[in-house]
Every structure is written in C-alpha cells, then in structure tokens.
Structure 1
Amino acid sequence: MTKEPSSNENLKVQLPEPATAPIQPTRINTVDAEGQISSPRRSNLVSYLYTDVDPLQSSWPLAAYCFMTGYIDSVSFTAIFVWCGFQTGNSVQLALALARLFQGPVGFRDTSFHIADQQALTSLITFILGAFLGRIGNKMGDKTRAWLVLGTFIQALFTMAAAVTVWQSGQGSVADNRGNPSWTSALTFVAIGFMSASLGLQGIMGKRVNTQFATTIVLTTVWCELMADPKLFQLRHWVKTRDHKLIAVLSLFIGGFVGRALIDKIGAAGTLGVGTGFRLLIALSWFFIPGKK
C-alpha cells in the first residue's frame, strides 16, 4: 500500500524576488561654523586657500614686494624727501627735531614743528599701524594663501586710496628742494599715511613668510648678510642665500627707477594708480604658489 503524497508537498511557494535598484552615490555635505551647508567643492576651495605656501617657491611674489618698496618710496621721496618704507631715517629725523628744542639760548630756540618733521611722524605712525594690521595673519595663518591674498589686496586698497587723495589734492609731484616740499595740504598727509601703511603691512607679511628676502622693506640687513655670505664668490652655481638677496636688491632698485620714470610722465597720482594694479597682480599670484610639502 503506497502512501500518496500530501497536497502540501506539491505546493511550492515562490516568493517574489526583491527588486534591485542601482545604488546611487550619496553626496555628503558638511556644516560650517555658521550652520550653513557647504558642498565638497566649497570645502576643497577653502582647504586650498588655507594651505600654507612653500616659502622656497615664493620668490617672485616677494621680489615683487621689494619692487613695490622702491616704487612707492620713489613717489614719496620725490615729492617730500621722506621715505614711506625706511623708518630708520624718519626716526632719526624726529630725534633731530626734538634736539632743536635745546639748541641756542632760551628765547631764541627753534620750537616750531617743521612740515618735513610732521610728514616723517605721519609716515612712522601709519607704518606701525599698517604693520600691526598684519597681526590678522596670526589668526588666519601667516603663510596661508587666504591671508597672503587678502593682505596684499588690502595693500592695493591703501595704494589706491593714496592715489585718490593725491589726485584730489591737486598738488605737484616733484619737489624743488628739501625746504620746499611739493605736498603740504591735509590730503597729502592722508596719502602719506596710506602709502606708509601699505608698506608696513607688506613688511610684516614678508617677514612672516621667513625667506632670504627678509621684510622686503629695509635692505640694510640684506646687504650686510650678502657681504658676509661664505658662498658670495661661487659664481658657477646657484646659491639661494646669496642670489635671493641679490634679487631683492635688484627688484627694489628697479622699482625706484620705474616709479620715478612714471612720475615724469603721469604724475604721482597716476603712478600710484599703476602701483595699485601691480598690487592686485601680486595678490592674484599667491593663488598659484605651490603648497608646502
């Protein structure tokens, strides 16, 4: 007697196969400090901007800084015989002005504050303020592209403001002698302040990059270090410690030459306007300096 198969055994339960959909890549967005959603592209840009530049490959922007020192100083010295960048001379000039108060018998001493001394004091104070502004780099990172671009752009704004104030003053660009400066109005004092502040900010930025170009402002130390370089006469090879200093000196010299040549053609205001364009080009150049490895 055979056992017939149960009806349940003949039933085969077929479950539907789960539908498979292609897996879509998920796009992860991050939230910044302000609570705003930032895309990966924006994050990459911010990361790039806040990467330190390689000081060893920053020679050309720093050489351009040296160029601007000679360029702007040529404008101020031609008009008022005051250096907007070289504050050693301005400091000594103010010391001499103070010493005049004690020269000669009482009642016959020169107690006036000469206009040249006023201009030197203006340059010194605003240079210090511009250098102090460079402390923003402590927060953003002294060698980051973000700060180097922003700081150079601020220098350009200062230079542009100097150009506008000189133009509005309507005064000449070339002084006949030290006793007869070309700039005497209040607006030109403002221009001196903006030019000095731009160089003060440039000086602290150049110093923080920490290269053979030093501050890109005062080259007295650069000259001394150049003469003391043990590889000074190795002419067949590239020597960074020597050749970068030579580039700094040459750049400043060319800047002074170009600035003075332009003053004769387009005046001090036009020369400072061209200098604003130079500053903007330097600011853009920091975008392309390779990052520090």
Structure 2
Amino acid sequence: MADTLPTNTKDSPSASSSTTPTPPHRSSSLSQSVTTKFQNLIDAPGSTNLISIYACFLTGLTSSPSFTACYIWCGFQTGNVAQLGLAIARTFSPLGERTYGFQKPDQQALTSLLSFWLGTSLGRLGDKIGARRRTWLVLATFIQALLAMAAALAAHYCGQDGIATHRGDPSWTNPSGMAALAFISATMGIQGIVGKRIASPMNTTVVLTTTWVEIFNDPLLFAFKYTPSRDIRIAGGFAVFVGAFVSRAILDGGGQAAALGALAGFRMIQCIWWFFIPDKPVKADKA
C-alpha cells in the first residue's frame, strides 16, 4: 500500500486564507479623513452665502423669544447700551420724574449686553484655532446649540409664561428667566464673530443696519438681473423676518421652552451644514 503523504497545512487554501494579513482597517482611514475634514479651512466667503442667510434666519428665531418676554433684543446691543444710558440719566431728572434704583428692564438690558460680550469674546479662541477652520465653526455652533438648550430649560423652570403684557411688566424677571436671556444673548455674540470672520455679505448676520445701508446704496439696486451684492443681502433681511415669525408661531403653540428647544434643533442643522461647505481651494505652486 502506498504511503499516504502528509498534508501540508501551510499550503492548503483554507490555511492560507486564514493566515493572509488583513488589509488596513477602514476605520483608521475614515478617522483620518474626518480629522482632515475638521482641520481644513472652508471656502469663505465664496461658499458661505446660503449658510449666512440661514444664520440671519436664526437671528430672527433667537430674538423673538427675548423681545416677547421682556422687550430686549438679545442680539441688537445698540438699543441696550442706549437704554442703560437713559437709566443713568433718569437719576438726574426733575424730582417729580426722577427714578431711583436699577429697574428690572435696565437689569435685563445689562444682562443681555454682558452675556453678548462674553459670547463674542470666544472669537479669540476661534482666532487661535483658525477663524475659518471647520473645527472652530462646528465647535462654535455646537456651543450655541448647548446654550439654546440651557435657555430652554431655564425658561421652562422660571415659572413665567414668557409673554410680557407691556413694557412696565416684563417676563423673565426671576433668576431663571434672566439666565434664559443671558444664554441666548451669548449665542448671538458667538454668531456675530463667526459671521464677521467668514466675511458674510450680511456682516455679523446679527445686526442688519449696515446691510440695509449697503442694499439701498448698491449701484445695481434696480437692475433686472441677479445681483449677488443686492439679492443675497435682501434674502438675509427677509430671513430674519421669517425666523421671528416662525419663533413666535412656535411660542404661541408650545410655549417659550418649545421655541428655544426648536432653536437648539435649528442650531444643530447649522452645525452639520458646516461639513457640506467646500474646502478652501489649494493653490498650485508655480513651477
């Protein structure tokens, strides 16, 4: 009987397939791709027109709850500064018209102003990371979403309905209400510096006074064709209007916490949107 040759297990197909080195993990390359995406600069201002218009929508969405509650524009700080000047001037009025003490509307104006300052000062962190780097833009927007969530919780637990009947009787007068005002004012401060650094056509995307000036002094204001310098800015102004309308509709239907919770959701949309903004084109070196 012929001797049976021993099977060389090293040369068998099954053995070779089990010992074949596995290719590099796809997860590693994916993580590198995500990291690179985060580190890249976005194409600004070239590809940021739509997200800037969306930011204007968020301005209206954010400002509506604060004005409805206490007649304070959480992003338009010019009025708050003037209001504080008037508060000090009232102490020098004639005796019959003089008021003493820091009135609640003046406290709210100061709270909004200080919170806006704190929020916009985070732009220094953005300058260190890279003001147009996707890492900073995603981080800044995520912080805004967290602040909106905190504002929703504070407004919910403040025990007030968030709708002022007249200027002399504002809502958000207790510490929780003041915290809600502070949180959304800080979000506007962050948005302002982000809009400024990416060179948005709407400037800061928070205050549109300069935008209106530029619209009505555009040499192509009455041109019957698409004019980016005019049309994008007009779209931004209209977006503020729509944002305020939507916010008030949510507030009437679900209350102040629902309106601020929706704001947090809209912020997360913006957070994801930054990943779809094209990277800054890399210029080829000249030979």
Q: TM-score range by the shorter chain?
A: 0.7 to 0.9
1:292 equivalenced with 2:280 (yes/no): yes
Aligned ranges for residues 39-54 of structure 1 at < 5 Å?
Answer: 39-54=28-43
Shift, 1:47, TM fit: 2.0
Q: TM-score w.r.t. structure 2 length? A: 0.86
- Superposed CA offset, 1:221-268 (max 9, x none): 0000111111111122x2111111011101111001111111110111
Q: Distance in 2 between matches of 1:118 and 1:195?
A: 16
1:121 corresponding residue in structure 2: 110
The match for 1:246 among 228, 231, 234 is 234
- Superposed CA offset, 1:28-74 (max 9, x none): xxxxxxxxxx9554333222211111122112221121111111111
1:84 equivalenced with 2:74 (yes/no): yes
Runs of at least 4 residues off by over 4 Å: 38-41
Q: What's the C-alpha RMSD, in Å, of the aligned pairs?
A: 1.9
Q: Name the aligned partner's letter for residue 209 of structure 2.
A: T
Greater mean deviation of Cα atoms: 83-92 or 62-71:
62-71
Aligned ranges for residues 3-22 of structure 1 at < 5 Å?
Answer: none
1:177 equivalenced with 2:155 (yes/no): no
Q: Distance in 2 between matches of 1:70 and 1:39?
A: 42
The match for 1:101 among 88, 91, 96 is 91
Cα pair 1:123 1:193 within 8 Å, conserved: yes
1:163 equivalenced with 2:149 (yes/no): no
Unaligned runs of 5+ in 1: 1-23, 28-37
SS of equivalent to 1:82: coil
Q: Name the aligned partner's letter for residue 159 of structure 1.
A: A
Greater mean deviation of Cα atoms: 133-142 or 263-272:
133-142
Cα pair 2:61 2:246 within 8 Å, conserved: yes
Q: Distance in 2 between matches of 1:108 and 1:239?
A: 52
Aligned ranges for residues 98-247 of structure 1 at < 5 Å?
Answer: 98-105=88-95, 109-236=98-225, 238-247=226-235
Q: TM-score w.r.t. structure 1 length? A: 0.84
Greater mean deviation of Cα atoms: 86-95 or 63-72:
63-72
Q: Distance in 1 between matches of 2:174 and 2:28?
A: 52
- Superposed CA offset, 1:171-199 (max 9, x none): 11211100011221111011110010011
Q: Distance in 2 between matches of 1:250 and 1:275?
A: 18
Unaligned runs of 5+ in 2: 1-20, 282-287
SS of equivalent to 1:135: helix
Q: Distance in 2 between matches of 1:87 and 1:227?
A: 23
Equivalent pairs: percent with the same residue? 45
Q: Distance in 1 between matches of 2:264 and 2:147?
A: 8
Cα pair 2:52 2:201 within 8 Å, conserved: no
Aligned ranges for residues 272-283 of structure 1 at < 5 Å?
Answer: 272-283=260-271
SS of equivalent to 2:206: coil
Q: Distance in 1 between matches of 2:165 and 2:58?
A: 24
Q: Max radius of gyration: which structure? A: 1
Q: Distance in 2 between matches of 1:96 and 1:170?
A: 30
* Count of matched residue pairs: 258
Cα pair 1:50 1:141 within 8 Å, conserved: no
1:13 corresponding residue in structure 2: none
Q: Distance in 2 between matches of 1:225 and 1:243?
A: 11
Q: Distance in 2 between matches of 1:281 and 1:200?
A: 19
Q: Name the aligned partner's letter for residue 46 of structure 1.
A: T
1:75 corresponding residue in structure 2: 65
Cα pair 1:141 1:147 within 8 Å, conserved: yes
2:244 corresponding residue in structure 1: 256
Cα pair 2:171 2:177 within 8 Å, conserved: no
Shift, 1:112, TM fit: 1.5
